[in-house]
Amino acid sequence: MTWAPGSLAPRPGAAPLRRMLAAQTAAELKLVLRNGEQVLLSLVIPLALVVLLVTVPFITLEGTADGRRADFFVPGVLALAVMSAAFTGQAIAVGFERQYGVLKRLGATPLPRGVLLAAKTLSVLVVEVLQVGLLCAVGLALGWQPQGSPLAVLVLVVAGTGAFSGLGLLLGGTMRGLTTLAAANLLWFVLLVLGGVLFPLSAFGAAEPALSLLPTAALSTGLREVLQDGGTAVREVLVLLTWGALGLTAASRAFRWE
């Protein structure tokens, strides 16, 4: 079989940005949802944690009835889920995409880098919608009684996504794939313990003010402030926005595409 004359004649041109963004976002989403470790980290572990923490009282919260346990743990695990998707998952994916030369090759196609990053962000947001939907459904089934304004929650989640994405891109954009994998998983675990997901920050005594500046701690306490107490979490949003500004700036400076 041969090529008909003219069938390969040059006809260069870039597709409309919207089409590239849609195709790239769909591809990024497929990659996340097909990747066993990512699904484990972003969906399975948070769901399992929420069920365990609420139903098995191996972490005692002073003076809490069953419903109160859910009120404490659901916001914490929501913060963990956002960290898993935007920071850990994204860092690992980017680290390996660089190592495999994917980002380099994409750099030689008409896909603008801005569109690539926008697609990554969109796919993280879609995963978060899934996470929030599932965690809220399970939480409600376990007797969770959320308070506060959904808008405040949205602001916190978006600010948290910015903070974690910046740090994830910084890590994945500068380290080798395996280094990123190790560092991102380690940080995930450290932040799970120190970030107010499992224990209230007050459990750490004198370290509390310092720990409260961690992005995970800011997101978990912020979400609790809104969902548990019906308050606003201005301080926490500011902490997250600061992380986001620092992380995204550093990432855009240091990011290496190969």
Partner 1 sequence: MTAPGPALSVTGLVKRYGGRPVVDGLSFELRRGTVLALLGPNGAGKSTTVEVCEGFRTPDAGEVRVLGLPPTDPSLRPRVGVMPQAGGAYPGLRCGEMLRLVASYAAHPLDPAQLLERLGLVEVARTPYRRLSGGQQQRLSLALAVVGRPELVFLDEPTAGLDPQARHATWELVEALRADGVSVLLTTHLLDEAERLADDVVIVDHGRVVAAGSVEALTSDQATGQLRFRATPGLDLDQLLLALPVGCAAKESPAGSYVVEGPHGAPIDPQVLATVTAWCAGSGAMARDLRIDRRSLEDVFLDLTGRQLRP
Report, in Å, the least distance between residue 248 CB and partner 1.
Answer: 22
Residue 195 carries which DSSP code? Answer: T
Helix 177-194 × helix 215-227 angle, to 10°: 40
Applying CB under 8 A, the span of 14-22, 63-71, 140-148, 155-163 interacting with partner 1 comes to: 14-22
d(CA 85, CA 124) in angstroms, rounded, equals: 6
Q: Which of 11, 56, 63, 209 binds partner 1 (CB under 8 A)?
A: 11
Nearest CB to partner 1, comparing residues 37 and 66: 37
CA distance 132 to 70: 15
252-216-211 Cα angle (round to 5): 110
Residue 2 phi, psi (nearest 5): -120, 170
Q: Which amino acid, 57?
A: P
104 contributes a contact to partner 1 by CB under 8 A: yes
User: Considering beta carbons, is residue 6 or 63 the nearer one to partner 1?
Assistant: 6
Q: How far apart are CA 71 and CA 50, in angstroms?
A: 11
Find where tokens 């990024």 sit: 28
In the complex, least distance from residue 257 CB atom to partner 1, rounded to whole angstroms = 9
Residues touching partner 1, count (CB under 8 A): 38
Interaction between residue 5 and partner 1 (CB under 8 A): yes
Q: Does 27 bind partner 1 (CB under 8 A)?
A: yes
Nearest to 184 by CA among 163, 168, 161, 197: 168
- Contact flag: residue 110 with partner 1 (CB under 8 A): yes
107 contributes a contact to partner 1 by CB under 8 A: yes
Q: Which of 44, 52, 67, 101 binds partner 1 (CB under 8 A)?
A: 101
Lookup: tokens for 21: 């963004």
Give the DSSP per-residue string, 110-159: S--HHHHHHHHHHHHHHHHHHHHHHHHHHHHHTT----S-HHHHHHHHHH
- Residue 77 CA to its chain's centroid (Å): 12
**By the rule CB under 8 A, 18 interacts with partner 1:** no
Site string for partner 1, 152-191 (x = CB under 8 A): ----------------------------------------
Which is nearer to partner 1, 107 or 200 (by Cβ)? 107
CB of 186 to partner 1, least distance (A): 23
The smaller minimum CB distance to partner 1, of residues 69 and 98, is found at 98
Residues in the site for partner 1, rule: CB under 8 A? Answer: 1-3, 5-16, 19-20, 23-24, 27, 30-31, 34-35, 96-97, 100-102, 104-105, 107-112, 258
